[in-house]
Amino acid sequence: MLFQVEMIVKLPPDMPAEQAADIKAKEKVYAQELQRQGKWRHLWRVAGSYANVSIFDVTDNAELQDLISSLPLFPYMDIQVKPLCRHPSSIHENDA
Amino acid sequence: MLFQVEMIVKLPPDMPAEQAADIKAKEKVYAQELQRQGKWRHLWRVAGSYANVSIFDVTDNAELQDLISSLPLFPYMDIQVKPLCRHPSSIHENDA
Amino acid sequence: MLFQVEMIVKLPPDMPAEQAADIKAKEKVYAQELQRQGKWRHLWRVAGSYANVSIFDVTDNAELQDLISSLPLFPYMDIQVKPLCRHPSSIHENDA
Amino acid sequence: MLFQVEMIVKLPPDMPAEQAADIKAKEKVYAQELQRQGKWRHLWRVAGSYANVSIFDVTDNAELQDLISSLPLFPYMDIQVKPLCRHPSSIHENDA
Amino acid sequence: MLFQVEMIVKLPPDMPAEQAADIKAKEKVYAQELQRQGKWRHLWRVAGSYANVSIFDVTDNAELQDLISSLPLFPYMDIQVKPLCRHPSSIHENDA
Amino acid sequence: MLFQVEMIVKLPPDMPAEQAADIKAKEKVYAQELQRQGKWRHLWRVAGSYANVSIFDVTDNAELQDLISSLPLFPYMDIQVKPLCRHPSSIHENDA
Amino acid sequence: MLFQVEMIVKLPPDMPAEQAADIKAKEKVYAQELQRQGKWRHLWRVAGSYANVSIFDVTDNAELQDLISSLPLFPYMDIQVKPLCRHPSSIHENDA
Amino acid sequence: MLFQVEMIVKLPPDMPAEQAADIKAKEKVYAQELQRQGKWRHLWRVAGSYANVSIFDVTDNAELQDLISSLPLFPYMDIQVKPLCRHPSSIHENDA
Amino acid sequence: MLFQVEMIVKLPPDMPAEQAADIKAKEKVYAQELQRQGKWRHLWRVAGSYANVSIFDVTDNAELQDLISSLPLFPYMDIQVKPLCRHPSSIHENDA
Amino acid sequence: MLFQVEMIVKLPPDMPAEQAADIKAKEKVYAQELQRQGKWRHLWRVAGSYANVSIFDVTDNAELQDLISSLPLFPYMDIQVKPLCRHPSSIHENDA
């Protein structure tokens, strides 16, 4: 089951550089692990911003909540979720 | 080059049913043709709405404008565009 | 799987009274049938408005889309969807 | 008398971890006590967020204010309230 | 139990003048009857607008819905409702 | 001359508890004094929030500014003002 | 007593040209009469728009409502009102 | 003197096709004439929309108002104006 | 050439009182000097707020930027600018 | 390929003056270097603000992201991006 997730990162300007680097490194490891598992199906940077557009593929709403609330950057992001399903005009069988 | 495009369809409530059906049929043909060409890479319905989330893969901004402004439903949609690029944490080579 | 759905009804002021009455009657039949099936778990009127707050219980996003887009009032409503899941502080086993 | 209440938690990023944990623990005890009393009828997590959707069942507006302003997380939440009543299409006698 | 209700009137520009006059006359009769009953406690014009700020005194949310949805101008108004209760600094015993 | 005033209190989360208590105590004294003078005609809590809805009765705009800008909580509030006047359907002589 | 009033004109696109011309002519006569009386102290066009910024000088809120609601274009405008008073740094005695 | 002007075209869906074509043809002639005069310095399409971003070079605010309010599409556009001036980091002498 | 300028002052709540008083004193001197020069033509307080509405009379956009960016309170204000010009219904020759 | 980019600078009020001056100096060097390369085609100050309107000329979305995310002020700006293309009414060959 697919969800579009938009994340805008807003780190506090006074966060020490090492702490920020540490959180970002953990975020990268976590994001790549979820991509390898197929849970985080797509991950794009929105050009000109510190934000991403993502497609998650999860079993249900509860798993979506588990995955997103475990993001190392979770406390520092504005996040918007849209449930997706197959579009009647889509020609891709697996886009749902 | 990828763009996220969100389209919300707002048909006038007094449009005759045949006219609406005709426009939607043309939209479907057009959308499937663009998908087959690889220009309209993803097309999802936003669940609970008359809206979609799409990923376009175009040569440049001009082609994006050409494709979107030729949509049969173009005069009846609110459309939002976000330029995308490869995310540094993405593991997908072709996601850009 | 639960979703909160908020619906605000906006009938065109020039819709003939009979047509409006007909659509509303069909909406009521449909809404009560979905409630009996357990798909539409809760349905409340927002006091002082022509709007409702609802909780849907569906198998997945696709079923949510099917049920909502089949509402007789669907073309005349602003609809907002929020995916829900069990809250860690909830004491209700079936609230998810 | 029912109210829908949406709460978005916004803890200051520089709040010490122990203080945050302490407030959350108190919030959980309080939320579960109100649920057992039947005052906090439903409590759902909004998937992909640090937010909840709740249904309160109170005697009047004053009791709603008492319960919500006593939440340990009250100073750190954006809260929206909607008064609810029975929907004419509802088949549930106690949903009001 | 008190509620603040703000109503902004938006008559369609093409409504015939007689029809508009008729609805407004009925609205006035209804509003004055509710004021005499003490249900519509205060009614003020917002200066420079076709809008009002009102205070309703009702038994519960259901009565609020009954009174507001029966307004002759109801289909033509944007309405916002806020539940009120006694303020701890108020010196007026009956302001709640 | 009447004005509706809505005040939302937003104390900085790191304000020391004593300082907050001191400001609130001064606010209460001031609010009650203005109520006794008839300047602050109504004061209601918006249920489920740290906000109030008020009706001020002042000589002119300048007095409104004097009274509001002297509120001890003034630097910590979002404030919205609406000028009011007698509604043609009001039955209350003194509601203006 | 001064008020800033911003008016944005939104004539329905299907209003007959003569009717529009007639309303605008009446608006001009009315606006110039109020300016001569000193009630409409300033009237500026917002460059690049069909809107104006105005300063009204009235006895009280009721007079403001009378003057604005009598504008021939009143049913076709979005109007925003801000009460003004003397600024402590102003050097103009009559700017209040 | 430069101004950025953003224009979003919103033609009524029921405007006859010939009328729309006529207005657009006049708009094009007018826009190209102003470009030749150097008044309309830049004109870009916003990709994926029926909107443009423009830079006007005018003598003063009054001329800006004259040029924009004379646009054949003026009654059918949402228009936003921003006054521009030379940026201290600009290396272009004529960008002001 | 006239511009309407709205300024909302938002001093950080933790700014030391002396620093705030110093900035405000400098702002007053500067504002009065500009008024004497005729550059800052009108300055009003918005009643019930820490905000003002102003009319600037400047040679061009560049001078507007110079004057506003030199305000001692500039870093602590939300500022909105609207270019003004003579309204065709204005009877005041110098209101442009 | 052109993009309109709007940047609003929001430096934290408690940033030390030297640090702010240092970042701004680096920003200026960087902005002028990109202008000399032709990547940052236009750069204007929005009069009355700490903001700019810019036109970037880049190879693709990825280069836009590289250039913008490398701005020394990037962490302290609200940034909005619009993809541009040639307008059918433009007479400038190189405006695309």
Q: State how far residue G11 is from chain E, nearest Cα, in angstroms.
A: 9
* Structure-token match 């002759």, residue found: E72
Q: Is the dihedral of CA F56, F58, F62, F67 positive or negative?
A: negative
* Cβ distance of I43 and G92 shorter than 8 Å: yes
List % helix, strand, coil for chain F (3-state, nearest 5): 35, 35, 35
3-state SS, residue E40: strand
Residues B64-96 have pLDDT tens digits of: 999 999 999 999 999 999 999 999 999 988 776
Quote the CA–CA distance of A39 and B4 in Å, as a whole number. Answer: 20
Using the predicted structure, report yes or no on whether residue H96 has a pLDDT greater than 70: no
Using the predicted structure, report yes or no on whether residue I96 has a pLDDT greater than 70: no
Mark I10-35 as b/e (b = at least 16 C-beta within 10 Å).
ebeeeeeeeeeeebbeebeebbeebb
Q: Does chain E reach chain I with at least 3 CB pairs under 8 Å?
A: no
Quote the CA–CA distance of A40 and F61 in Å, as a whole number. Answer: 57
Subunit partners of chain J (3 or more CB pairs within 8 A): A, B, H, I
C-alpha to C-alpha distances, E37 to E67, E90, F25, nearest whole angstrom: 12, 25, 38
Region I33-44: mean pLDDT is 98
Q: In chain I, which residue's Cα lies nearest the Cα of F56?
A: I48
In sequence order, which residues have a C-beta less than 8 Å from that of residue B9 and are 6 or more positions away? B50, B51, B73, B76, B77
Q: Are B31 and B40 in contact (CB under 8 A)?
A: yes
C-alpha to C-alpha distances, F25 to D55, F22, F35, F51, nearest whole angstrom: 33, 5, 15, 16
Q: Is H48 exposed, middle or buried (0-12, 13-18, 19+ CB in 10 A)?
A: buried
- Report residue I94's pLDDT band, with 50, 70 and 90 as the boundaries: confident
Report ipTM for this prediction.
Answer: 0.96
Q: In chain C, which residue's Cα lies nearest the Cα of E80?
A: C48
With contacts defined as CB-CB under 8 Å, which chain B residues touch C79?
48-49
Q: Which of I64, I74, I75 sits opposite J47 (nearest CB)?
A: I64
With contacts defined as CB-CB under 8 Å, which chain H residues touch G50?
69, 74-75
Q: Is the dihedral of CA D77, D82, D86, D87 positive or negative?
A: negative
If one counts every other C-beta atom within 10 angstroms of the C-beta of residue J70, the result is 10
C-alpha to C-alpha distances, H23 to B76, H19, H35, nearest whole angstrom: 19, 6, 18
pLDDT at position C94 is 75
Q: In chain G, which residue's Cα lies nearest the Cα of E47?
A: G65
Residues of F with CB under 8 A from a CB of I: 3, 5, 12, 15, 61-62, 64-65, 68-69, 74-76, 79, 81
Region E30-49: mean pLDDT is 98
Q: Which of G5, G12, G81 sits opposite E13 (nearest CB)?
A: G12
Q: Is F38 exposed, middle or buried (0-12, 13-18, 19+ CB in 10 A)?
A: exposed
C-alpha to C-alpha distances, A69 to A78, B10, D27, G62, nearest whole angstrom: 12, 34, 18, 54
Residues J20-36 have pLDDT tens digits of: 999 999 999 999 999 99
For chain A, where are the E strands, in sequence order? 2-9, 40-46, 51-57, 77-86
Compute φ and ψ for B15, nearest 5 degrees: -70, 130
With contacts defined as CB-CB under 8 Å, which chain I residues touch H83?
3, 61, 64, 81, 83
Could you write out the DSSP letters of every residue in E7-26? EEE---TTS-HHHHHHHHHH
Quote the CA–CA distance of E55 and E34 in Å, as a whole number. Answer: 11
* Structure-token match 């020394």, residue found: J72
With contacts defined as CB-CB under 8 Å, which chain C residues touch D71?
none
C-alpha to C-alpha distances, B80 to F30, G65, H24, J37, nearest whole angstrom: 50, 40, 23, 31
Size of interface B-H (CB pairs under 8 A): 27
Q: In chain J, which residue's Cα lies nearest the Cα of H33?
A: J91
Beta-bridged to residue B52, according to DSSP, are B7, B45
Q: Which of H62, H65, H85 sits opposite I61 (nearest CB)?
A: H85
Please name each of the domains of chain E with its CATH number. 2-83 (3.30.70.1060)
Using the predicted structure, report yes or no on whether residue A95 has a pLDDT greater than 80: no
- E strand or H helix that includes residue J70: none
* Cβ distance of B68 and H48 shorter than 8 Å: yes
Using the predicted structure, report yes or no on whether residue F21 has a pLDDT greater than 70: yes
* Cβ distance of F11 and D75 shorter than 8 Å: yes
pLDDT at position E96 is 64
pLDDT at position D96 is 67
Helices (H) and strands (E) in chain F, counts: 2, 4
